[in-house]
Structures are given as structure tokens and as C-alpha cells.
Amino acid sequence: SQQGEEDPQALSIQEGENATMNCSYKTSINNLQWYRQNSGRGLVHLILIRSNEREKHSGRLRVTLDTSKKSSSLLITASRAADTASYFCATEGNTGKLIFGQGTTLQVKP
Amino acid sequence: NAGVMQNPRHLVRRRGQEARLRCSPMKGHSHVYWYRQLPEEGLKFMVYLQKENIIDESGMPKERFSAEFPKEGPSILRIQQVVRGDSAAYFCASSATRMRANTEAFFGQGTRLTVV
């Protein structure tokens, strides 16, 4: 069964606004990771949050993890046109492999 | 230190032909993972290999698909007798240790396979 479900599927905002994407999962995890994928390109690792962490920051990115609700959110502050991409959450459980969600497509309009 | 290298970037095959996709992991990485991405979808796990061994192939179709990671050389994902439904982007990732250790996986740019 699909491990990560993301919402919304698509998000369109103006440059300078904040973008929030959510990810829910079903089974226990060791960590949750967020990746960005520009159209037709590979995946770029953004941030990893361990199961015993609740919040993590990296530049304009803020990730939260609520293991009781089995959910995570990715916040991009002060968005830029260059942030336009698809964003995927991926969970790593005891199997040691990453299970990806369907992704959120973010469009940032200049 | 070059990243994960995949080739070719684009591959066109006729139905019934064989497709061979190559992945050279980052230097020092001995763990390789293959994923498939259909259009507008997320990545689906296919197989996890560690030098000369298949660790987990639970996501690999039972027929026509095979993967190897020899002692020397790149990892190879082979698809025999390709069909239109095999058209997808195939991504390879590598890590220094098994990802259970909370280590980051690095992804290649992918190979886009089109079956005509």
C-alpha cells in the first residue's frame, strides 16, 4: 500500500508567499525525507528528519514531524520562482528502503 | 566527487527489444537502489543491491526485469522484451551505508525509457 500521501496535489502561489505541503504515512518509520524534482530532472535531497525529532530547519525550509498523527509538513518561506518544482516526501522504515508519496507540484508565479 | 551517474539519459526501444540501464554510484558507495517513476507519479521502489548481492527485489516485476551490481563496474537494470507499459523514468540512488542508518541517498538524473 502507498506509504506516503501528499496534499495538496498541486499548489500555485505568488512569489514571496509561503508554501506548505503535507505528507501522511501509514506505518512506523525511522525517518522521513523531503526531495525536490524539477521537471524532467532527478531528485534533490532537501532535508531528513528522524523519528525522534519534531522540527528541523534548513535555510527557508521548515519541516515538522508528528509521529502520533503519522504526518509531516514542509514549509517554504518567502518563495521564489526558482522553487517551482515537484516536492516528494519519502519514508524510511525498518526495511531500509525509501517509500515515496505521489508528490505536490508547486508553481511560484513571479 | 562526481554524483550518481546514469546512462543513457534517454533510451528509445521498440516493443520486444531489450533495454539496459546503467548506474554508477557515488565514489565509496556500495548500496544501490533502483526506482521507477511513471508520468505524474511518485517513485516506486524496485530493487536494492549491495555489491554482487540482491538485498531486496520486492518491487521488481517477476518477469522480464533483472538487476545486478557486479564487483567491478556499474549496476545494470535490464528489461527484456520491453512493452509500452515499461515506458517510464528509471532512477538510481546510492548510499554509503544501508539507509536504515538514517543516511542520505543520492539520486542520479534518471534514464527516460520510451518504448515505441
Asked if A20 and A73 touch (Cβ cutoff 8 Å), the reply is: yes
B35, B44, B99 ranked by CB distance to A96: nearest: B99
Asked if B29 and B96 touch (Cβ cutoff 8 Å), the reply is: yes
All residues of chain A having their beta carbon less than 8 Å from the beta carbon of residue B98 are 96
Report pLDDT digits (tens) over A54-106. Answer: 999 999 999 999 999 999 999 999 999 999 999 999 998 777 788 888 899 99
Contact with chain A for residue B96, Cβ under 8 A: no
Report pLDDT digits (tens) over A7-45. Answer: 899 999 999 999 999 999 998 898 999 999 998 888 999
For residue B107, give the C-alpha cell.
539520486
Report pLDDT digits (tens) over B53-80. Answer: 999 999 999 999 999 999 889 999 999 9
Asked if B108 and B4 touch (Cβ cutoff 8 Å), the reply is: yes
Whether B99 and A44 lie within 8 Å, measured CB to CB: no
Q: For chain B, which ranges sit under pLDDT 50?
A: none
Structure confidence at residue A1 (pLDDT): 40
- Grid-cell match 540512488, residue found: B93
Structure confidence at residue B42 (pLDDT): 84
The closest alpha carbon to A43, from B91, B65, B5, belongs to B91
Asked if B51 and B71 touch (Cβ cutoff 8 Å), the reply is: yes
Asked if B15 and B82 touch (Cβ cutoff 8 Å), the reply is: yes
**β-strand pairing of A98-100 with B5-7:** unpaired
The distance between the two most distant Cα atoms of chain A, rounded to a whole number of Å, is 42
Structure confidence at residue B89 (pLDDT): 96
